Amino acid sequence: MGRFHLNHLKLRDKLIFMYFLCVFIPIVLTNIFFYNVSTNNIINQKTHDADIALEQLQRELRAVIDEAAGISYLYYIDPVLNDHLNHHYASQAEYIEALNEKMRGMFNKSEQAYHTTNSTIIYTDNKTMLASGNILPLTESVVAEPWYQDFIQTNVSYPYLYVNDSQISMIQRMNNTVTSVNSIVKIDLNMATVRQLFANSGFEGNIYFVHPNQTVHFANDKEMDWSSGTLPITKVEKPEKPIEFNKLYANNNYLNGWALHGVMDEKNVLHEVRKSGSFIFYLAALNFLLPTIIIVVISRSIHHRLVRILIYMKKVKHQQFEPIPYEDSRDEIGQLTSEFNRMTARIDNLINDVYMADIQKKDLEIRQRQAQLHALHSQINPHFLFNALETIRMRSLMKGEGETARTINYMAKIFRKSISWKRSWVTIREEIELIECFLEIQKYRFGDKLQYQLTVEDAVYDQMIPKMTFLPFVENASIHGVEGSPAIGLIALHIGLSGNRLVFRLSDNGMGMTESKLDELLHYLKDDDTIGDNVGMKNVYTRLKLCYPDAFEFDIQSEHGKGTTVELRLPKDGKTGEDMQ
């Protein structure tokens, strides 16, 4: 293998090679670099903005919760409220009077002052107090509530944060004074305010409010079921390429361990890059288009004319001295074209004047001798074969071998008809005579193992068909169908009319074919252009396609071990006697 050299490359390949090195590869690398830089910058910017947005939401949510905690602390240190809760009233009238004097408007003013709270309820086990307004008895049903069961497991003096699927609450023990009364205050946050904080956060993704035990207690993810409060943050379904943030609350008694966990989809982050992708594409297309047009125009000016010179030079090899169409071009290729035309004109004149006449004369003599020799061979070969077959037949008669003599006579008839039929169309009568000769020869071969039946309607004897249309199918039935069968083989041939169609039906009780073999044969006959094993059948099918294009029908039915049936339907009177002349 020779060493690579630029001189070995075609001119067009050199131009393409130069185009890829100088235009295509630099533009592709530049666009890839520009896209990657843009992608990284947008991801960094979006990540920074998302971190700021989540941090802002953390501060705002903490402010709302701190406000509720501050309200609970105000109730905790209020001496009037504590005295009211710890006092044992002698009668209901005394309680109502004390309630009207001391507690009138206390809770309403608190809720009006703080829009972040939704309701304030104090539960107490003081049996002398009635259920009224914001003060309710600590009944068994309240004790069974999940928030209460969660709260009593703690032993903290500061407000306790409780979050469920629909509410965020601050719960505070009212044990500012030493007393036997057990009272707690429960402040529910305004969830519309909380949801608005999450909606207006500016964070382009899902935000999860995560318990210290790493379970999700609140989220803006509408496709996730977090209402049970038992879904671990690690089990949350995330996008294929997530960008995650985590803002942990610290240095706060009731928020210690809680966290805001944000998840963004990198695909959404890169949406801006995707939007600008069309601009990058058009820019790249422009960078491709202009150099490509310039190179194509220049390369065509060179390559097209060189290829044309090469084509005309190859014609010279076959003694075709055609001049290249003249073009008014002054470059080296134009000069080469002009010199080539001048050279071929001189060579053509020289050959015609000196050599051509002598060559044509000798070539004519050779062709005449070959034609004479071919004619002599055509006369001698059939005459010799007929005489040889007749000699063998007479010798068989002299020895008393009548069956062999008849078989040889049938062979001579088949041979005589095959070469004496100068026309392409014959009558069915002539075709049947040929088939009978062939079947008699096969009976000589198989003996009693082969039987045949020929049924031909009188109306079809003079119908014209392409010669040797039926014989290859009869041959195939006897050789491939009957030969391998252990039983007595029967070949039945029926030729008749059905409406305006000439029907040929051939059936045998031979070996038949499997379904796959039958499909393979039909594909070979109808769709395959190659010549395989079934040359005779393929030849017949091809000739029928030429004679009747789409006006004939052909079908083969076969079952393995039971035989085969071939049916041909040809147009009636497809040819007349005049076509034979």
Q: 571 vs 276, 456, 540, 547, 577, CA distance in Å?
A: 69, 17, 16, 11, 15
Query: 246 pairs with which residues across the strands?
Result: 261
323-378, pLDDT tens digit by residue? 877 666 767 777 777 777 788 878 777 777 766 667 767 776 666 555 444 443 44
How far apart are the C-alpha atoms of 78 and 172, rounded to whole Å? 13
Q: Please give the mean pLDDT across all residues of the chain.
A: 77
Residue type, 535: V
| SS3 category, 330 | coil
Q: Please check the confidence at residue 239 and state whether its pLDDT lies above 50.
A: yes
Q: Please check the confidence at residue 12 and state whether its pLDDT lies above 80.
A: no
**Helix or strand run (H / E) with residue 158:** none
How far apart are the C-alpha atoms of 60 and 54, rounded to whole Å? 10
Residue 447 gets which letter from DSSP? G
478-497, pLDDT tens digit by residue? 877 777 777 888 889 999 99
How far apart are the C-alpha atoms of 335 and 317, rounded to whole Å? 22
Q: Please check the confidence at residue 390 and state whether its pLDDT lies above 60.
A: no
Can you give the pLDDT at residue 569? Answer: 92
290-319, pLDDT tens digit by residue? 777 777 777 777 777 777 777 888 887 777
Whole-model pTM over 0.85: no
363: number of Cβ within 10 Å = 10
> 401 in the Ramachandran plot: left (φ > 0), alpha (ψ -120 to 50) or beta?
beta
Tell me if 36 sits within 8 A of 134, measured CB to CB.
no
Region 253-278 average pLDDT: 78
Query: 388 pairs with which residues across the strands?
Result: none
Higher pLDDT, 212 or 365: 212
Query: 189 pairs with which residues across the strands?
Result: 117
Strand positions, DSSP E, 199-265 = 206-210, 216-219, 242-248, 259-265
85-142, pLDDT tens digit by residue? 888 888 878 887 777 776 665 665 455 446 778 888 889 888 888 777 778 888 888 8
